[in-house]
Structure 1
Amino acid sequence: MKKQILIYILFNIFLLQGVYPNSNKLKTMNYDKNAKNIELQFKVSKTKMIQRIEKIWNCKVLDLKSMILKFNEINKDYIIIEIELEKKNIKEDFEFNLRATSKILNRHILNLKDFKGAQLNYIINTANETKKNSEIIFEIPDKYPVLKECNKNLDNEDMRKCFSKELGKHINKNFNTTILKKMGLKKGMHKIPVYFTIDKTGKIIDIIPDNKNENERVKLEAYRVVKSIKIMTPAYNNGKFINLKLVIPIAFKID
């Protein structure tokens, strides 16, 4: 079996093109009524987009729009999703729903890269009160994490490219395909998305190899290789270091 591993690092999505910072609420940002916001461009209709989001959250979508938010006098374009939840409809895996929402945005917003991020505003109705809260779905950091192979003085776009390239090299070099030879895995392509977070100190945490149909030993190897990533400097956004959520879809081929 030849060593053939394909690495796709998706930012700004999943992005998946998926970048997700961890629960960085935008309450410190203000809506700029005078600025002209970017209009959303849908691959499908807005109505179908809303229906798909409602299916994920099992709730009513109140609004799906673009908005300019201001932070430290700097305008930034965001996608805003507003939903209304009944307490009984809130699934335990809130993070899973955020990831699923990010995937929907990535697949069906044509101009997604024009936005700094996306935020979910949600209302929770209970018998006694109504609570309002917000969560970041994804957000592009002002500065990507720095790997030792990357020049720390690169601008953010070049840092993103360097981070993606060097992370791919690390996975290709360290993913142990030798152990796969004895597993009797079926021939062809195997794909396993690995979710993880680079925390504010640069540690790799919350690693989730997410493919229920994949061999458990493959998941362990994906976990191990992602855990071994060494970060020199964590992501930076709005004047502070942040937790940055990422996904690496790893694909390898067995001949």
Structure 2
Amino acid sequence: MKYLYLSLCLLSSIVSFSQENTTTTNEVTKDSEEVSFSVIEKVPVYSGCDENMGNQALKQCMASQMQAFVNRNFNLELLKSVGLTAGKHRIKIQFKVDKEGNIIDVRAKAPHPELKKEAIRVVSLIPKLDRPGFQDGKPVIVPYGFPIAFTIDPPKALSKKEQRRLKKKNRS
């Protein structure tokens, strides 16, 4: 599988896969204790992000910190072994940050069951956040999601010399 060139990266823009919010923020807080990442008053704070930054800066910091965490911990060798076709592939990750800052309810959609399992494993390793999300001065549950995008390049053509070696090796 030397011919596979794999790259793993998160899309530069993090996408929240939580349900569309059709009610006002106050109604959401009263009806449930879950508030969308896109409308929350104070976003959860990922370790290493300065909680004194504004919401938009904290969102970007959280996205980049999660990207770095996933890149460090995702088993790239697994991409080689599952036999995906050449091209672009995505794994969609969804989870919630609870009222204490823990990552809960991790789910994933992936082009292969082993990749789904690996994505859930890696996201479940994310350490407790420094601060949960807050709405109306109270901690709330915050749904969050992002894609893991990667590309598998097509196999490169073997040179004539490599083809001869392969034929010779197969005859032995």
User: TM-score, normalization: structure 2?
Assistant: 0.72
Counterpart-to-counterpart distance in 2, 1:175 and 1:216 = 15
Deviation at 1:236, TM superposition (A): 1.3
**Equivalent in 46, 55, 58 of residue 147 of structure 1:** 46
Deviation at 1:227, TM superposition (A): 0.9
- Note the 1:35-50 alignment, pairs <5 A: none
Counterpart-to-counterpart distance in 1, 2:141 and 2:97 = 6
1:190-234 CA distances to partner (integer Å, 9 max, x unpaired)?
1121111111111111111124xx210000011011111121211
1:117-147 CA distances to partner (integer Å, 9 max, x unpaired)?
5329xxxxxxxxxxxx966784511111111
Deviation at 1:180, TM superposition (A): 2.0
RMSD over equivalenced CA pairs, Å: 2.5
* 2:103 maps to 1:199: no
Structure ID, larger Rg: 2
**Equivalent in 227, 239, 242 of residue 140 of structure 2:** 242
- 8 Å Cα contact 1:19/1:244 also seen in 2: no
- Note the 1:1-255 alignment, pairs <5 A: 1-8=4-11, 17-18=15-16, 20=18, 99=19, 102=20, 118-119=22-23, 138=36, 140-211=39-110, 214-230=111-127, 231-255=129-153
Structure 2: gaps (5+ residues): 25-29, 154-172
- 8 Å Cα contact 1:196/1:206 also seen in 2: yes
Indicate the residue corresponding to 1:65 in structure 2. Answer: none
Report the number of matched residues.
Answer: 142
Structure 1 ranges of 4+ moved more than 4 A: 133-137
Deviation at 1:3, TM superposition (A): 4.2
1:143-176 CA distances to partner (integer Å, 9 max, x unpaired)?
1111112112212121111111111111122111
Q: Which structure has greater strand proportion?
A: 1
> Counterpart of 1:229 in structure 2: which amino acid?
I
Deviation at 1:8, TM superposition (A): 3.0
User: TM-score, normalization: structure 1?
Assistant: 0.50
What secondary structure is seen at the aligned counterpart in 2 of 1:6?
strand
What secondary structure is seen at the aligned counterpart in 2 of 1:184?
coil
> Do the aligned partners of residues 185 and 19 (structure 1) sit closer, same or farther apart at CA in structure 2, a change above 3 Å counting?
closer
> Counterpart of 2:9 in structure 1: which amino acid?
L
What secondary structure is seen at the aligned counterpart in 2 of 1:4?
strand
Structure 1: gaps (5+ residues): 12-16, 21-98, 103-116, 121-132
> Do the aligned partners of residues 19 and 215 (structure 1) sit closer, same or farther apart at CA in structure 2, a change above 3 Å counting?
closer
What secondary structure is seen at the aligned counterpart in 2 of 1:141?
coil
Counterpart-to-counterpart distance in 1, 2:104 and 2:40 = 18
> Counterpart of 2:141 in structure 1: which amino acid?
N
> Counterpart of 1:185 in structure 2: which amino acid?
L
Q: Which structure has greater helix proportion?
A: 2
